[in-house]
Amino acid sequence: MKISITGISGYLGKKIGEELKKRGHEVLGIERKLIYGSLATLSKEIDGTEVIINLAGAPILQRWTERNKRLIHESRVRTTRNLVKAIQTLPQDKQPKKFISASATGIYKSGFPHNENSSGFDEGFVGNVVQDWEKATSGLPASVQKNIFRIGLVLGKEAKTITNMLLPFKLGLGATLGNGKQPFPFIHEKDVVRAFIWATEDLNKNGTFNLVAPENISNKEFTKALAKALNRPALFSIPEFILKMVLGEAAVLLTESPEIEPRNLIANGFQFEFPCIKEALVEILKTKTSARVI
C-alpha cells in the first residue's frame, strides 16, 4: 500500500515508517511546509494515498509559555484540519481508504478510571488541545475509515521517558514524582508500532483505542520497578513544588494522570507483546545496561 505519514521524522514516525517499509509498503513523509502551504499542493501530495498516518505534534512536556501553547495546539489541530480539508477536495476514488491519527491519554480527567467510552474529559490545557485534535478529524468523508490512538507514556530504548531517567537511576538517585500515587499509563514502543501496523493493514479495525498496556501501575511502582531492574536504590521523591519551579504549569503532566484501560484494543483481538512493566523494562534495558529480571 501507499502510505503517507506526517511527523515521519519524529521518534514514533521513524519507527512506524521503518516497519511499514520492511513489510513491503510504499512510505512517504508529508513535509511540514506542505501541510501549512496551499490546499491544492497538499491535495496533490496525498492524491492516491491509501492510508494517511497523522503523527505531527510539538512536544507537550515543555514550559507552557503562550508561544509554546500556540505551537502545541496548532501543530496538532491545524495540521489535522488541513489534512482533512485536502482529503475533502479529492474525488472519492482518490481519497485514502483510512485516516489514522495519534491522540493522547491526556484527554481524560485525572483521578478517575477510564475506557474509550468515558466522557470524563480533562478541562485543562492538555485536555482541550486533545479534544480539539480529535474533533479536527470529524470532517473526514464518510467513505474514509478512521482510527484514533490515545497514546500513553511511551517506553523504549530511545524514548525520552527512559533516556532522561537512566543516568540518575544508575547513580542511585532515582525518585518518585510528587507523592507517586498518580497512575503511570505506559506502553512499550514496539506495541505502539504494532498497533499502528495492525490498524493500517486491517481496514476493518476502526474507532478510538486507548494505546496503553493492560497493567495499571502508579508512578511509585514504576520508579521501584526501574530501580530494581537496574539493581539500584530509589529512595527519593521530588516534591511537586520543585517540578512546578522547573516546568511551571506543565508540571501537572508529571503529578497527575488518569487510570486507563485499553478495552477496545483487547476486545478487537490486539495482542500486547509487553502487557506488564516487568517485560517492558527487561526488553528496554537488556542492550542499554545490565538489567536483571524483576
Based on the structure, what is the number of domains in the chain?
1
Q: For the chain, give me the number of helices (H) and strands (E)?
A: 12, 12
Cβ partners under 8 Å of residue 156, min gap 6: 162, 188, 189, 190, 284
Summarize pLDDT for 68-100 with one digit per residue, the tens.
Answer: 999 999 999 999 999 999 999 999 999 999 999
Of 97-106, 170-179, 264-273, 285-294, the poorest mean pLDDT is in 285-294
Query: Is residue 247 one of the residues assigned to a domain?
Result: no
What CATH number corresponds to the domain at position 83? Answer: 3.40.50.720
Q: What is the pTM of this model?
A: 0.94
The residue segments making up the domain with residue 85 are 2-154+185-215+259-273
| pLDDT at 279 > cutoff 80 | yes
| 160 in a structural domain | no
At residue 221, does pLDDT exceed 50? yes
Task: Assess if residue 116 is contained within a domain.
Answer: yes
| 195 Cβ neighbours under 8 A, 6+ residues apart | 149, 209, 211, 265, 270
Question: Does the residue 175 lie in any domain?
Answer: no
**Residue 290, in any domain of the structure:** no
Predicted pLDDT at 294: 34
